[in-house]
Amino acid sequence: MFKKFFIPRMIQYFTVLFIGITLVFVIPRLLPSDPVSTQLHRMTSQGQYLDPAAVEEMRETLQELYGLKGGMLQQYFSYWKRLFTGDLGPSFTQFPTPVIALIRMSLPWTLGLLLASLSLSWMIGTVLGGIKVSFPNSPFSKATELLAMGIRPIPYYIMALVLLILFAFLFPVFPMAGGYSVGSKVGFNARFIKDLLRHSFLPILSMVVLEIGGWFLQMRNVASNLVEEDYVVYAEASGLPKSKIVFSYIMRNAIVPQITGFGLNLGFVFGGALITEMVFSYPGMGTLLYSAIIAGDYNLIMGINIFSIVGVSTAMLIIDLLYPLLDPRVRYQ
Amino acid sequence: MSILRVENLKAHYVTRKHRKVTRVLAVDGVSFQINKNEIYGIAGESGCGKSTLLKAVSGLIKPPLEVVEGQVQYQFDDRDLDLLTLRGEQERREIRGVRISHIPQGSMSVLNPVRRIRKSFEDIIGAHLGIKDKREFEDMVRKHIEALGLDWNVMHSFPHQLSGGMRQRITIALATILRPDVIFADEPTTALDVVVQRGVVQLIKTIKKEQQNTLVIVTHDLAIHANLCDRLAIMYAGKIVEEADAEALFADPKHPYTEMLLDSLPIVGDRTTRESAPGAPPSLVHPPSGCRFHPRCPQAMERCKLEAPNLIEVEIGHRVACFLQEGIVDENVQEFDAR
């Protein structure tokens, strides 16, 4: 079991990581712009006079710092070496703060925001989808279906802005922006947690409202096919109670693809929610990535990408390893 | 004594699309009686409505299937039951699995793929008797499945770990564990190879003998009918065209369609080419006028195109719906009168 099931999946996992991280190394180097020259140009263009020798010296220091010294191969090896020591290099724009420190600062915000919205929308959507399939003609199911179909096509940024205008501007129940009130002390106490929840409420709500529809529809589609399955019909013919059929026969089988979807989305948490964080000025990975792209901060972009790659592939590995527990037809062998 | 009486049953598949109503007349005016303790077979080609008939008389009526007309009456030992007047999920649930049970087609997917076999037994027993004592439950199931020649170890398996024949035996065990009065088997041996088919037929016979229940078998496989049934009905295009004791029917088929069906069966040692019934089963949306078999019938008369023959008793226990038999009946009656 170990040999046949576990090892190939681990090999696959590390191969994906290796290729992904290598691509992160290669792609910025294919760009026509050279970050060192850009940086030097930025300095000289400010009208400052610099001695050519000093410029040359500075170029070398910068190359060293950015990991751009030596040939491609040499750079590649030192890239891996630094990666293993947890060093993603310094940020260009917030020099000399290391990239890893910036990520460490943003990651908890994003994790909190996205984990909460993902699990909430997943749970609600799945349950509603199950109800819809089990009681297709009840007014409640019809209403949820209509709502899900109606809300889902709304572009996310519009939904976010509408919520913001409604509940932060017209009826200022929630704050407009930020992750916590300016000046409040970060700490594990009731007051700060309340402040945190107040700030995260609208961003989470905007994501949950839109994502419920997707989970609902997926659950409904999978489960409505299961209703026609022989084992469901046969369970009805054997006089099993409706609740048993719904939970153990329909939902139990429909949950498998739902969990796969959940796992995949879990991986994307590390990339942040760009638009949400932008609209609500939330201090997460999305904002960080956005400012890095605007400023051409290669190291930071690479660092965030590496986190995303590791996140997505680890989530997939976990789902893959757990799969036989969900569906006995997939066996450890 | 009859246990099930069906009168003029009409079950149609009704689909409504843009106010246009399409009706598939899958069962269109069927009457018959099933006696207690007998094995009653229903035969016919694919699409003749035999599975629909089974669904309608066993109460598995779900849209688009609708019972338009007719009566389905059960006479159990302790009570009478009008199946079509049952309203509400609860009432139907009490009947299903206990009074009436199903042996579905021997296919891959009758058992829940994510549940162990033991759980399936727990579900059905729990639903009707309740499981108070684990030991009692185990004893009950063990006794039953061992009587059917199954090993207790299969209880811990998932359906996909078992062979097709084994799965079908499990389904039969599930269908019979509560000792139902009537068992409906819809193509119980289809999709199984002949060796397994034999085993399944034996198993059904064993249970029937032990539990003394009534069995209704639907299949297109006449060999299974010959092997199992006491009485046999032949269906064509939503109607019963002939019904008789199985032996009488095989020995002396009276309806041209039955004759054709029997002629198509291979006989060991006979090397002449077998004739199949020419043509294809008719559309049940727009069935042929008159006798529904007339477009394919070699002996069709002008009258067959206009009028539909009734199912009449030509010999004791032998009913046929064909104008060719009518004269014979009249002669018999005249003979009787003359005497």
Which tens digit of pLDDT belongs to each residue from B156-165? Answer: 999 988 888 8
Are A239 and B96 a contacting pair at CB < 8 A?
A: yes
- Residue ranges, chain A, pLDDT below 70: 1-2, 46-48, 181-187, 332-333
Q: Cα separation of B270 and B274, whole Å? A: 9
The DSSP element (H or E) to which B335 belongs, if any, is: helix B323-338
Of B94, B110, B127, the CB nearest to A240: B127
Same domain? A108 vs A203: yes
Residue A262's CATH number: 1.10.3720.10
Q: Cα separation of B37 and B54, whole Å? A: 18
Amino acid at B262: L
In chain B, the residue whose alpha carbon lies closest to the alpha carbon of A253 is B114
Q: Cα separation of A142 and A148, whole Å? A: 10
Do B44 and B31 form a contact (C-beta atoms < 8 A)? no
Of B58, B89, B94, the CB nearest to A242: B89
Does residue A332 sit within a domain?
no
Same domain? A75 vs A110: no
Same domain? A258 vs A130: yes
Q: Which residues of A203-241 are buried (b: 16+ CB within 10 A; e: fewer)?
A: bbbbbbbbbbbbbbbbbbebbeebbebbbbbbbbbbbbb
Looking at beta carbons, which residues of chain B come within 8 Å of A253? 112-114
Does residue A90 sit within a domain?
no
Do A118 and A269 form a contact (C-beta atoms < 8 A)? yes
Q: How far is CA B214 from CA B5, B35, B146, in A?
A: 13, 8, 22
Q: Residue B104 pLDDT > 80, yes or no?
A: yes
Do A215 and A127 form a contact (C-beta atoms < 8 A)? no
Do B163 and B173 form a contact (C-beta atoms < 8 A)? no
Q: Cα separation of A19 and B147, whole Å? A: 60
Do A89 and A65 form a contact (C-beta atoms < 8 A)? yes
- Using one digit for the tens of pLDDT, what is the confidence trace for B184-221? 998 888 878 888 888 888 888 888 888 899 999 998 88
Burial label, B280 (beta-carbon count in 10 A; 0-12, 13-18, 19+) = exposed
- Strands across the sheet containing B214-218: B100-103, B182-186, B214-218, B39-43, B231-236, B239-245, B318-320, B312-315
Q: How far is CA A42 from CA A38, A52, A295, B204, B209, in A?
A: 6, 15, 12, 89, 96
Does residue A312 sit within a domain?
yes
- The answer to whether residue A229 neighbours chain B at the CB level (below 8 Å) is yes
Mutate to test the interface with A, among B54, B91, B112, B129 (most CBs of A within 10 A): B112
Q: At what angle do helices A7-30 and A72-84 cross, to 10 degrees?
A: 130
Q: Cα separation of A215 and B279, whole Å? A: 50
Q: Cα separation of A109 and A285, whole Å? A: 8
Same domain? A162 vs A302: yes
Domain coverage including residue A304: 100-326
The DSSP element (H or E) to which B223 belongs, if any, is: helix B222-228
Q: Cα separation of B3 and B34, whole Å? A: 6
Same domain? A123 vs A51: no
Looking at beta carbons, which residues of chain A come within 8 Å of B105? 230
Do A250 and A233 form a contact (C-beta atoms < 8 A)? no
The structure tokens listed for B141 are 């199931």
Does residue A89 sit within a domain?
no
Does residue A284 sit within a domain?
yes
Q: A-B interface: how many C-beta pairs under 8 angstroms?
A: 79
Same domain? A156 vs A281: yes
The structure tokens listed for B28 are 């269109």
Q: Cα separation of B226 and B261, whole Å? A: 13
pLDDT of residue A1: 62
Cβ-proximal residues to B331 (8 Å cutoff; 6+ apart), any chain = none
Q: Which of A226, A320, A191, A302 is nearest to A264 (CA)?
A: A320
Same domain? A37 vs A121: no
Greater confidence (A126 vs B78) lies with A126
Q: Cα separation of A219 and A224, whole Å? A: 8
Q: How far is CA A85 from CA A18, A270, B133, in A?
A: 16, 20, 60
Of B101, B110, B114, the CB nearest to A252: B114
Average pLDDT over residues B273-302: 84
Same domain? A132 vs A234: yes
Does residue A218 sit within a domain?
yes
Q: How far is CA B8 from CA B53, B56, B57, B72, in A?
A: 12, 12, 12, 9
Does residue A6 sit within a domain?
no
Residues of B with CB under 8 A from a CB of A: 58, 60, 89, 92-98, 101-102, 104-105, 107, 109-115, 119, 123-124, 127-128, 158, 160, 171, 174-175
Summary mean pLDDT of chain B: 86
- Name the minimum distance, in Å, from the CA of A125 to any CA of chain B: 22
pLDDT of residue B339: 46
Q: Cα separation of B59 and B254, whole Å? A: 32
Q: Cα separation of A194 and A198, whole Å? A: 6
Instruction: Tell the residue number behind the tokens 């170890």, with chain if given.
Output: B153
Chain Cα centroid distance, residue B161: 29
Same domain? A131 vs A176: yes
Q: Can you tell me whether residue A81 is helix, strand or coil?
A: helix
Q: Cα separation of B141 and B32, whole Å? A: 35
pLDDT of residue B331: 53
Q: Cα separation of A233 and B107, whole Å? A: 13
The structure tokens listed for A195 are 């402040």
Pure H helices in chain A:
7-30, 35-44, 52-66, 72-84, 99-134, 139-151, 156-164, 190-226, 230-237, 242-244, 252-268, 274-279, 285-295, 298-326
Are B60 and A236 a contacting pair at CB < 8 A?
A: yes
Average pLDDT over residues B111-121: 91
Q: Cα separation of B29 and B8, whole Å? A: 4
Q: Cα separation of A316 and A267, whole Å? A: 8
pLDDT of residue A183: 65
Same domain? A157 vs A278: yes
| Local confidence band at B12 (pLDDT 50, 70, 90 cut-offs) | very high
Does residue A217 sit within a domain?
yes
DSSP A135: S
Same domain? A64 vs A128: no
- How many domains does one find in chain A? 2
**For residue A58, which phi and psi values (nearest 5 degrees)?**
-65, -40
* Residue B235 C-beta-side C-alpha neighbours within 13 Å: 29
Of B93, B109, B114, the CB nearest to A230: B109
ipTM of the complex: 0.83
pLDDT of residue A198: 85
Of B95, B110, B123, the CB nearest to A240: B123
Q: Residue B332 pLDDT > 60, yes or no?
A: no
Same domain? A157 vs A243: yes
**A85-89, B141-145, B244-248 — which is least confidently predicted?**
A85-89
Amino acid at B59: G
| Local confidence band at B329 (pLDDT 50, 70, 90 cut-offs) | low
pLDDT of residue A21: 93
